[in-house]
């Protein structure tokens, strides 16, 4: 990785700039800009997230915004209303208020004396989402966006649901928000009013988990903010970035296929990260690519970016299954347009009783009831680089699944796009799910997950009107798997593994389900890609970024995942610890720490035994300012309802400052 200390422009930062909203609330921004920007105005780039510019995202902001500012941009990291030092209250993700505020922020930026009037918007995850959402509101100053690790469909491909199943990440993320959003504003910035503002925040913090669980099907709540509802609303050019190890990548080919504006995409091997960070690598000079994009669209320079293929993607080779890779093996490939006009053929395999075959074998009903803890080799739904994100050897999960293995491949197969499984099945309960995994079985027997999909079978005809299954009735369902680019080497076997549980990724069903899968009548379709000559031309610069944050580690961080079987009680437990530890942010003299432990527990024979818990603790200290808050979220379920407990405790100078305890019961809606 190259740290670029010397950039074309000298950069100054405004630690806090206040952006006034029409209703009187002020949003806090941190701004990086060339020292001479007042004399030689520059375009502005906005990143707009609620993750606290002063501490929460400082480490990731510096290398990126410093880089663009050094290349002649004014970068604004604005905290969303109710977060960081911004006034007001945070009510939910992607609210209309958030978008309205963004329009005002963009207008304000475009009018600043140091701004040319052109604004770009960029972000990863939340900031990638709202870049798309705000683009769809068409603020006139917004000329282009870069959306990374985001979605166009908040129901299909976000942290809450997948295939109509409730994701474990819906819980994890809600618990994280319940912790993070409870943080106080900094007295150094907002002054003596910090305490009142904090109390106001704590008292009004929504129980995100309960609010989200109240909408279990694809209703207006989720359509709001889903730009797929009207792709044409987006009128500015879009650069979409993502990685195969991330969970938002399905949106990228969809955006390329449906947007009408100039658009490009880069998909690497990485998880929920920018490409210059890799994780896993290969990391590439993604900031240089972004700069080419900004220079083209915000400064009108011909950087050649628009001559690049519409999609550049990393074709992953097989690697032995591991929870983390420094770097995946593979190569970059190019698609001039998406969907491609040629080069990809859909190849069908039949799920036969005797394995995966080219032709249909005799029809055979195969019966399956997976242990409820099937899914422990899944890794994280969304990899954050904890070292245990990626799927491990799948054999542990294959064990509780119906498995269809092909013969050893006589030649390598490369796929790009969305594999689809079509299953003929019947369930003995009205509510059931399937998890379908596409695995690569190496000659030594190890099994690597290539891609996967979930389907809540009550959503077989769509996510808006779930319909219970008729027990025993045979149904044909289509299970699209996540988009992927990967190679199956010769000598390896293709495996399809079907399970009735995928825990803790998917919340368990209300009742144990026995599923009958009709072999001989079920199939898998793979998008097989022939190499293109253009592939060889894809090249990126080395990863570059500006210098990182100045910080001193006071207590080292810690990350681990332990999968535990409590043999005595028969329970399975997954414990994920992710402690930032404690650091001093030297520029602002703030000591900041966080500690998070997440535990999922289930008994293999009882889906209603599922329990999830997160304890998340934060500490802020400077001089005699000493604020600590701890949140605890527990989710359990009965056959009929989800049960949520959410506690908040805040301490000011070691004394209890605030306590809140919420209990919610949300009826289950076909899940």
Partner 1 sequence: MRIVTTFPRKVREIENLWVPMPDGARLAARVWLPEDAEADPVPVILEYIPYRKRDFTALRDEPMHPYWAGYGYATVRLDMRGSGESDGTMVDEYLKQEHDDAVDAIAWLAAQPWCTGAVGMIGNSWGGFNALQVAARRPGALKAIITSCSTDDRYADDMHYMGGCLLNDNFDWGTTFFGWLPRAPDPALVGERWRAMWQERLDAAAFPIEDWMRHQRRDAFWKHGSVCEDYDAIQCAVFAVGGWLDGYSNAIPRMLANLKVPRLGLIGPWAHKFPHNAIPGPAIGFLQEALRWWDYWLKGRDTGIMSEPMYRVWMQEKVPAKGFYDTCPGRWVGEPSWPSPSVRTLRWHLNEGGLEQRPGREVALATRSPQTVGLAAGEWCPYGTGGTGPEFPTDQREDDGRSLVFDSAPLPARIEILGAPVVTLDLAIDKPVGFVAVRLGDVAPDGPTTRISYGVLNLSHRDGHEDLKPMVPGQRVTVRVRLNDIAYGIDAGHRLRVALSSAYWPMVWPAPAPVLLTVTAGASRLELPERLPRAEDAALRPFPSVELAPGVERETLEPGVSRRTIERDVLTGETVLRVQEDVGRYRMTRIGLEVGYWTGEELRIRDDDPLSASTAMWRTTEYARDGWRTRTAARTEVRATRDAFLLVGELDAFDGDKKIASKRWDVRIPRDLV
Q: Contact residues for partner 1 (CB under 8 A)?
A: 323-324, 354, 367-371, 387-388, 392-393, 395-400, 443-446, 514, 559-568, 570, 604
In angstroms, what is the minimal distance from the CB of 322 to partner 1?
8
Give the residue with the Cβ less far from partner 1, 142 or 614. Answer: 614
Q: Which two tokens stand for residue 483?
A: 């988009």
Q: Choose among 218, 238, 406: nearest CA to 338.
A: 238
Beta carbon nearer to partner 1, 281 or 379: 379
Closest to partner 1 by CB, 573 vs 591, is 573
d(CA 518, CA 606): 25
Q: In whole angstroms, what is the distance from residue 451 CA to residue 356 CA? A: 17
Q: How far is the CB of 396 from partner 1 (least distance, A)?
A: 6
CB 496, min distance to partner 1, A: 15
Q: What is the DSSP string of 189-201?
A: HHGGGHHHHHHHH
User: How does DSSP classify residue 106?
Assistant: H
H or E segment to which residue 265 belongs: strand 263-268
Query: Least Å distance between CB 379 and partner 1?
Result: 8
Using the minimum distance from each CB to partner 1, give the nearer residue, 7 or 574. Answer: 574
* Residue 164 CB, nearest approach to partner 1 (Å): 24
Q: Which is nearer to partner 1, 337 or 407 (CB)?
A: 407
Question: 515-519 and 364-368: which strand pairing?
Answer: antiparallel
DSSP 336: S
Which C-beta is closer to partner 1: that of 238 or that of 517? Answer: 517
Place of tokens 């963009």: 106
Q: Report the nearest approach of partner 1 to the CB of residue 438 (Å).
A: 16
Closer CB to partner 1, 140 or 408, in the complex: 408
Minimum distance from residue 563 beta carbon to partner 1 (Å): 4
CA separation for the pair 101, 18 (Å, rounded): 13
Query: For partner 1, which is the closer residue by CB, 298 or 517?
Result: 517
Span between the terminal Cα atoms of the chain, in Å: 45
Q: Are 26 and 82 within 8 A, CB to CB?
A: no
Kindly state the smallest distance separating residue 279's Cβ from partner 1, in Å: 15
**Residue 607 Cα to chain centre, angstroms:** 26
Q: How far apart are CA 504 and CA 506, in angstroms?
A: 5
Nearer to partner 1 (CB atom), residue 375 or residue 417: 375
3-state secondary structure 478-535: EEECCCEEEEECCCCEEEEEEECCCCCCECCCCCCCCEEEEECCEEEEEEEECCCHHH
CB of 370 to partner 1, least distance (A): 7
| Residues 6+ positions from 126 with CB-CB distance below 8 Å | 49, 50, 51, 93
Nearer to partner 1, 366 or 588 (CB): 366
Instruction: Kindly give, in sequence order, each residue whose CB lies less than 8 Å from that of residue 575, ignoring residues fewer than 6 positions away.
Output: 560, 561, 562, 564, 597, 598, 599
- CB of 373 within 8 A of CB of 261? no
Q: Closest separation between CB of residue 434 and partner 1, Å?
A: 14
């Amino acid at each position: 990785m190259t740290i670029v200390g010397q950039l074309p422009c000298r950069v100054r930062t405004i630690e806090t700039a206040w952006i006034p909203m029409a209703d009187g609330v002020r949003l806090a921004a941190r701004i990086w800009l060339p020292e001479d920007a007042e004399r030689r105005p520059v375009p502005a780039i906005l990143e707009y997230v609620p993750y606290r510019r002063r501490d929460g995202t400082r480490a990731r902001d510096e290398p990126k915004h410093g880089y663009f500012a050094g290349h002649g941009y004014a970068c604004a990291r604005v905290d969303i209303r109710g977060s960081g030092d911004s006034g007001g209250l945070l009510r939910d993700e992607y609210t209309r208020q958030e978008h309205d505020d963004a329009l005002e922020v963009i207008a304000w930026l475009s009018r600043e004396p140091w701004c040319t009037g052109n604004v770009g918007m960029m972000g990863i995850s939340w900031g990638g989402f709202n870049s798309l959402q705000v683009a769809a509101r068409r603020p006139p100053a917004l000329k282009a966006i870069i959306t990374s690790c985001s979605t166009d469909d908040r129901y299909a491909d976000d942290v809450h649901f997948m295939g109509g199943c409730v994701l474990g990440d819906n819980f994890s993320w809600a618990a994280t928000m319940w912790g993070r959003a409870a943080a106080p504003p900094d007295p150094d910035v907002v002054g003596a009013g910090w305490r009142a503002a904090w109390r106001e925040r704590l008292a009004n913090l929504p129980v995100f988990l309960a609010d989200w669980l109240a909408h279990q099907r694809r209703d207006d709540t989720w359509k709001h903010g889903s730009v797929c509802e009207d792709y044409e609303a987006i009128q500015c050019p879009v650069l979409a970035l993502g990685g195969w190890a991330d969970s938002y990548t399905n949106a990228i080919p969809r955006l390329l296929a449906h947007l009408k504006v100039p658009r490009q995409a880069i998909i690497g091997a990485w998880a929920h990260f920018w490409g210059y960070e890799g994780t896993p690598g290969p990391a590439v000079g993604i900031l240089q690519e972004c700069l080419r994009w900004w220079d083209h669209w915000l400064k009108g320079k011909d950087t050649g970016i628009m001559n690049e293929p519409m999609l550049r993607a990393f074709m992953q080779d097989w690697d032995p299954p591991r929870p983390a890779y420094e770097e995946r093996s593979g190569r970059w490939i190019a698609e001039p347009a998406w969907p491609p006009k040629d080069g990809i053929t859909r190849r069908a395999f039949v799920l036969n009783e005797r394995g995966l075959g080219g032709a249909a074998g005799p029809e055979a009903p195969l019966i399956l009831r997976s242990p409820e803890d099937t899914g422990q080799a899944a890794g994280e739904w969304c990899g954050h680089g904890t070292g245990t994100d990626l799927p491990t050897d799948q054999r542990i999960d294959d064990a509780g699944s119906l498995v269809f293995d092909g013969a050893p491949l006589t030649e390598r197969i490369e796929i790009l796009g969305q594999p689809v499984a079509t299953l003929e099945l019947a369930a003995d309960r009205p509510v059931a799910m399937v998890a379908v995994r596409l695995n690569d079985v190496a000659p030594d027997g190890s099994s690597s997950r290539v891609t996967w999909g979930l389907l809540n079978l009550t959503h077989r005809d769509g996510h808006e009107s779930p319909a219970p299954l008729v027990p025993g009735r045979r149904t044909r369902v289509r299970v699209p798997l996540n988009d992927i680019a990967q190679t199956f080497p010769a000598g390896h076997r293709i495996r399809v593994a079907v399970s009735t549980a995928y825990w803790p990724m998917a919340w368990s069903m209300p009742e144990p389900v026995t599923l009958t899968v009709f072999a001989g009548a079920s199939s898998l379709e793979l998008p097989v890609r022939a190499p293109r000559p253009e592939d060889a031309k894809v090249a990126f610069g080395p990863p570059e970024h500006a210098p990182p944050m100045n910080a001193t580690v006071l207590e080292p961080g810690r990350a681990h995942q332990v999968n535990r079987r409590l043999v005595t009680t028969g329970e399975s437990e997954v414990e994920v610890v992710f402690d930032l530890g404690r650091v001093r942010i030297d520029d602002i003299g703030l000591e900041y720490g966080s500690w998070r432990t997440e535990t999922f527990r289930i008994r293999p024979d009882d889906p209603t035994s599922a329990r999830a818990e997160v304890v998340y603790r934060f500490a802020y200290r400077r001089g005699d300012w000493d604020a600590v808050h701890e949140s605890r979220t527990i989710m359990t379920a009965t056959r009929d309802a989800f049960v949520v407990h959410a506690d908040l405790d805040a301490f000011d100078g070691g004394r209890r400052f605030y306590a809140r305890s919420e209990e919610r019961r949300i009826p289950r809606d076909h899940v």
